[in-house]
Structures are given as structure tokens and as C-alpha cells.
Amino acid sequence: MEVICIFELFDTNGKLFAAQFEGEEEDEAGHPQHAFSKLTAEWSDPSWFRAFFSKFKQDYFNFYGSSNINRLVLEAIDFADNLFEDLTKYSKSDELDKIFKPLNNSDKDQTYERQSLKAKGSEVKSYLRIYAVRYGDEFVITGGTVKLTHWMKDRDHTRLEKHKLDTVVKFLSRNGIEGKIVYLDK
């Protein structure tokens, strides 16, 4: 996996970006599909959530107890909408550090360059995650997923998200101007 490009996202005062990885397709409008556009497409699709929760039903049960798949799908779409609204709100008010927290809980009181981060909803059952890398006062979204296990290493889809975080950290270390993104291309 390789980072191809980093894009600035919507009206975010130049603070929020998304990585595009090698092999990602274009969206319906012919635009390159970066990590954030891919995530918003998946999380607005009930069939995507239905397939996910059908496959990982036992993981959900182990963490939260039993639930009806239809209810889970509706809940997840609602959670996703709330998380995207929070992301937009905090990016426009230049307070992204209020939503993005260190990936490792042991780093909760530390802030450093190229730090791996997670954003999750405020709901008690906050299983949706958006992942990003801090780069100065800017944030690069690498992707996101539904996390239903304690450790990211426990499932392929969460291991992939960790790999994408690590890939962006390496990319920024090799190609970035310290603490500032300048439309990085490979």
C-alpha cells in the first residue's frame, strides 16, 4: 500500500486532509476516491452496514450484547451522521483536537508530530472510528471502520486501518515539509 496524494477536505481552513491510497478507484463523478470520500460512501450505505454486521455479529454481541441487524444498521447510520457532523463542526471552528484523540490511550496526555489519532462518536456504544495522523496543526484522515474488538490486531479490517495510519506517517516523514502539508504528491 502506498500513498498517492493528500487532498484538502471541504471548507476546513486548511486543517483537514485525506490520503488517497494506491489502487483506490474514482467516485461516480470521476473524482479520485480518497480515504474520507470512501468512508462517507460506505457509512451512508445501509447494505454496507448490513453486510458488515452480518459478518461480525458475534463481535458485536461480545461487546454490546444481542441486537437486531435492522436496528444496528439504522443506529450505525445515525452514529455516522453524528460523527461526520462533529467532524465538520470541529474542523470549521479549528478545534479538531477536540474530536481526534491519540490512538493509543497511553498517549492521552501527549501531542506530537505524526501522531496516530482516532475520532469516535459521543454515544455510549461508540464503535465507529475515523483515523487520522496529526501533522503540525493539520490532520490527515487515513480511513475509518467499525471497531468491535478491544485490539486493532484482532481483525483484518482494523489491522488494515492501522497499516494505513503507519503508511501515512511514513509518507509524511519522507515527503513533508515539517508541520505543514503542501499538496503532497508522490
Q: At residue 20, what are phi and psi to the nearest 5 degrees?
A: -110, 130
* pLDDT tens profile 63-114: 888 889 999 999 999 999 999 999 989 988 889 999 999 998 778 778 888 9
Confidence (pTM): 0.89
Reply yes or no on whether the pLDDT at 15 is more than 60.
Answer: yes
Helix H segments across the chain? 35-43, 46-55, 57-64, 69-92, 156-175
Q: For residue 24, tell me if it sits in a domain.
A: yes
Q: Which residues face 17 on adjacent strands? A: 8, 140
Contact 35, 127 (CB under 8 A): no
How many domains, the chain? Answer: 1
For 126-172, the pLDDT digits (tens) are 899 999 999 888 899 999 999 999 899 999 999 999 999 999 999 88
Instruction: Decide if 184 is inside a domain.
Output: no
* Under 8 Å between Cβ of 33 and 25: yes
Residue 181: inside a domain: no
Domain with 20 in it: 3-175
Q: What is the rounded distance in angstroms from the CA atom of residue 73 to the CA atom of residue 62?
A: 17
Q: How far apart are CA 20 and CA 33, in angstroms?
A: 7
